[in-house]
Amino acid sequence: MMNRLARYIGNGNVEIVSEPVPAVPAGGLLVRTEACGLCSGELMSWYMDRKLPHVLGHEVAGIVEVSEDDRFPVGSRVFPHHHAPCLRCALCLEGKFVHCPQWKSTKLVPGGMAERFVVAPENLTDTVRCDDLRPQDAALLEPLGCVMKAIRLAGSRDRAAVVGLGFMGLLHMFALDDPVSYDLNAGRVDWARGKGLRVGGAAKPEMVETVFVCPGSQGAFDFALSMVNPGGTIVMFAPLAPGEDLRVPQAAYFRDITIRNAYSAGPNDTQDALEVIRAGKLSADQVVSHFIGLDELPKAYQQMKAGEILKPMVLIP
């Protein structure tokens, strides 16, 4: 059986190709993809070019077609995280799941942006059944899990601000309690306001206790520092580009500002994300601008990279 998939080929380009469906690993699953989002991290050429060749897709949900694990029977809908911890090592026992050696070595094969993919048994430590969710909502679990980790690390969800109203910024807005947001992109601001979210004026930002910084840039950090109260927290949600180091002025020291970094997510964060979606606080329609077919992805990739569209998600019948 052949398998159509989206492969990143370098220099910001994606192609749709066909390959044989991979063999199901012992103890694993074969999943037919229903929905897969394009991650903003997959737009960073400096990050993607070092992973060549690479099949896109990890914000994914689908139907189990072959199962060697009774917890995930054939016909069930699942979300499998592309990285999953062992749950046994010292790092896992401390809750530092994303630093577990197994977490770093696991992946979906060939990737989620394919008609079918396989899930190794190691990945099942962070795979959940989600028969009660629409596939497009279940595909939000990976990015929303990252957001839930950021909120957990911040220690507070009250009196918060979000810098950046891309897809990840929007997820923060829906997961927090009445936050205020900021973005220079008029289209993103209009989208947020159209969804009933609160947008502040960048010329005079509100003073808050916690700021979540979604763009990986010095300017976004500096803006966050201008609005965080003494004793407050800034959460850096994305890395700066290679060769760029975050500059933290002495003012952060004298104002007792805490700076946290939030990288990816573990199984506990997946469960928190699942609760948010099951509670009806978030749906794909609120944060995805374009639902497309697999053949439309190369064009949508370029459009998202250029900032022309907010977020595409591939739906496969």
Is omega for the bond preceding 110 within 30 degrees of 0, making it cis? yes
Name residue, tokens 């577990």.
100
Q: Which amino acid is at 163?
A: V
Q: Which has the minimum average pLDDT: 29-33, 250-254, 305-309?
A: 305-309
What pLDDT is stored for residue 72 in this prediction?
Answer: 98
- Gap between the Cα atoms of 82 and 265, Å rounded: 11
Q: Which residues pair with 109 in a beta bridge?
A: 118
**pLDDT value at position 1?**
86
Instruction: Note the pLDDT of residue 259.
Output: 98
Q: State the amino acid at position 55 in one-letter form.
A: V
Whether residue 49 has pLDDT greater than 90: no
Q: How confident is the model at residue 46 (pLDDT cuts 50, 70, 90)?
A: confident
Complete domains list, the chain, with CATH? 2-140+282-315 (3.90.180.10), 153-261 (3.40.50.720)
pLDDT of residue 63: 98
Q: What stretches of the chain adopt beta strand conformation (E)?
A: 2-10, 13-20, 29-37, 54-55, 59-67, 77-80, 116-119, 127-129, 160-163, 180-182, 208-213, 228-236, 258-261, 290-292, 312-315
pLDDT at 11: 85
* pLDDT tens for each residue of 202-236: 889 999 999 999 999 999 999 999 999 999 999 99
Q: What kind and span of H or E run contains 151? A: helix 141-154
Buried b (16+ CB within 10 A) or exposed e, 16-35: beeeebbebbeebbbbebbb
Mean local confidence (pLDDT), 69-91: 98
d(CA 33, CA 63): 7
**Integer Cα distance of 113 and 89 in angstroms:** 31
Question: What pLDDT, in 10s, does the model give residues 260-300?
Answer: 999 999 999 999 999 999 999 999 999 999 999 999 999 99
